[in-house]
Amino acid sequence: AAGDTYFSGKLLARLARLVQIADELGESGEAYFKNMVERLARRLEVWLKKDTQTPFVYDATWGGLISCGCDFNDWGTPHCSNKVDPAELCPALQDGGGQLNYGNGVYNDHHFHYGYFVYSAAVLAKHRPSWERRWREQILTMVRDYGNPSREDKFFPVAR
């Protein structure tokens, strides 16, 4: 299950760095290397799929990508039972939602949080180009949230 974007992103980046180190050491043919690449792909996809427990959603009010967040209503378990549809009902967009996920819903530190995901995706793309083609749109959407290069973009500001 997905947690918060900060700590989950850090763990993804840590695994991606291990993949890079193993590759630099010439270990890309080893079974453990393939296992790490597969694990990285699976763990990134938990966040990129639209049906995840804490999906990324577009916030039309401020023009950005946020993690829906989770109230973890099933207290005592790591299960997030509050999938919501439509996105406007996400916990991160509700009053007090700015406290969830280190303020992700109020755009706190997206360059840190999403940077971990983008780095991990770049490492994975190096070793599995077909994966990158499959998830390119989602990854570039993260980049547009914190580093949009186009003033013509109607969905994301150039600088936040």
Classify residue 160: in a domain, yes or no: no
Q: Is the CA virtual torsion 156, 45, 25, 116 positive or negative?
A: positive
Indicate if the pLDDT at residue 116 is higher than 70: yes
CB atoms within 10 A of CB 88: 12
pLDDT at 24: 98
For residues 46 and 2, the answer to whether their CB atoms sit within 8 Å is yes
**pTM (2 d.p.):** 0.87
Specify if 158 maps to a domain.
Answer: no
Residue 116 covered by a domain: yes
Q: For residue 67, is it within any domain?
A: yes
Please report, to the nearest 10 degrees, the dihedral formed by the alpha carbons of residues 141, 116, 10, 157 taken in order. Answer: -50
> How many structural domains are present in the chain?
1
48-85: per-residue pLDDT in tens? 987 777 788 898 889 999 988 766 555 555 556 555 56
Averaged over 107-123, what is the pLDDT? 95
Q: Can you give the residue range of the structural domain that contains 77?
A: 5-146
Region 93-105: what's the mean pLDDT?
Answer: 75
Query: Do 80 and 101 contact (CB within 8 A), yes or no?
Result: no
In a domain, 152, yes or no: no
In a domain, 159, yes or no: no
Q: Is residue 156 part of a domain?
A: no
